[in-house]
Amino acid sequence: MELTSPALLWTVSACTVAAFVAVIVFWRHAARSGLRGLVARVLMVAVVQLCALSTFALVANLHFSFYGTWDDLLGHDGPASAAPSDSGRDGGESVAEPLPDDDVTSQVSDKMGKLEKVRFRGARSGLSDMGYVLLPPEYFSKAHAHDRFPVGILLTGFPGEARNLVERMKLPKVVSDLRKQGKVQPMIWVMARPSTDPPHDTECVDVPGGPQAGTYYAQDLPEALSNRYRTAPTAKGWAIMGNSSGGSCAMRTAMMHPNSYTAAVSLAGDFRAIKDKQTGDLYGGSPEFRDENDLFWRLKNRPMPPIDMLVTRILDGGDGNPAEPKEFAGLAKPPMRIDLLERKSGGHNFVTWNAELYQAVPWVSERMQVEDADDSSGSTEGKL
């Protein structure tokens, strides 16, 4: 069972209840004097405490998203990532491989669309990871059989799992609600995590001598999606967004790769090129390379990218200094535009981010255009 699966939580909770009942029933038998009775009582109490602590730890992990997988918890490099390779240099292409449905895909009804579990394999970066793809109902209708659709990519925070975007951010429900209100157009929505190299937070940076995370999110992921689905053929129909470190990734990727994305949304992302215990040194010890990945520095020292960006600002300071996003937005000049999504109060949590999605998703939808392709990429043959 997966670390974040409800089945594991219910199983451990049941074991806790069973252990507690067993103590009540058998305590009299263990109450005898002597060493054997003492050992029995100590073991019974220890088992109950272990079960209770395990249940509490699972609940806390589900709420705060400390660890997404067993590999993350144990500090192992899981199968989701791979070392950079030469796979893309011999003509190979990035691919999206469908995986069997799971307890997450079953949460989306036919009226909301179809949710696929997919593994993305990057040809250039050599990285891969699992995510979810939400296809609108129109995708499967005869009237739209050859239509292409805009794409919105949503990245969760680190070290969160893609399933959090379904179960806690509730993106499919948000999109469904907004579709019913006529506020958004049919789009393909992709849910993924912001690092393919757990337990390291790579911040969508092409790490010198390490994971080429920037390349993965800017080139490999769009290519993998386009090779399987009928996606918009140009950057005008692509947006990237995220919460927390996912928001940092979204901003950095769009600013550094405007040929891949025309819009970006950050829900409480960092603007600076951070360096901490989770990231380590992503910049190869180079101050210059770190500057290139600092978003404030880029606005002050590099040409403005032709993109639109939306960043959140909590006025009561519940999610950081409210002056920072305002200062950041004030640095933008044409052809770049930065809008502020302001709320009076909020925090660094899923409740706030879920509420912000109801404004962020329409903002993205308004900017998405499906332009005519000027080459063979316009063909939809061989795609789902």
Can you tell me whether residue 339 is helix, strand or coil?
strand
d(Cα 88, Cα 126) in Å, to the nearest integer? Answer: 8
SS3 of the chain: helix, strand, coil, percent, to 5: 40, 15, 45
Residue 155 pLDDT = 97
Phi-psi region of 113 (alpha: psi -120 to 50; beta: other; left: phi over 0): left
d(Cα 169, Cα 80) in Å, to the nearest integer? Answer: 22
Q: Contact, 124 vs 219, CB < 8 A?
A: yes
Output the pTM of the full model: 0.80
Structure tokens at 118: 């997919």
Q: What size, in residues, is the chain?
A: 384
| Interstrand relation of 151-155 and 188-192 (parallel, antiparallel or unpaired) | parallel
Residue 175 pLDDT = 97
d(Cα 111, Cα 182) in Å, to the nearest integer? Answer: 15
Q: Fill in the amino acid letter for 44.
A: M
Can you tell me whether residue 73 is helix, strand or coil?
helix
Q: Contact, 304 vs 332, CB < 8 A?
A: yes
Using alpha carbons, list the distances in angstroms from residue 379 to 64, 232, 238.
Answer: 43, 11, 18
Residue 341 pLDDT = 96
d(Cα 194, Cα 178) in Å, to the nearest integer? Answer: 25
d(Cα 305, Cα 256) in Å, to the nearest integer? Answer: 8
What is the pLDDT tens value at each position of the chain, 384 positions in all? 666 667 788 888 888 888 888 888 877 777 777 787 788 888 888 888 888 888 878 777 766 555 656 665 665 544 444 334 334 444 589 999 999 999 899 999 989 999 999 999 999 999 999 999 999 999 999 999 999 999 999 999 988 889 999 999 999 999 999 999 999 999 999 999 988 777 788 999 999 999 999 999 999 999 999 999 999 999 999 999 999 999 999 999 999 999 999 999 999 999 999 888 888 899 999 999 999 999 999 999 999 999 999 999 999 988 889 999 999 999 999 999 999 999 999 999 999 999 999 999 999 999 999 987 665 455 666 677
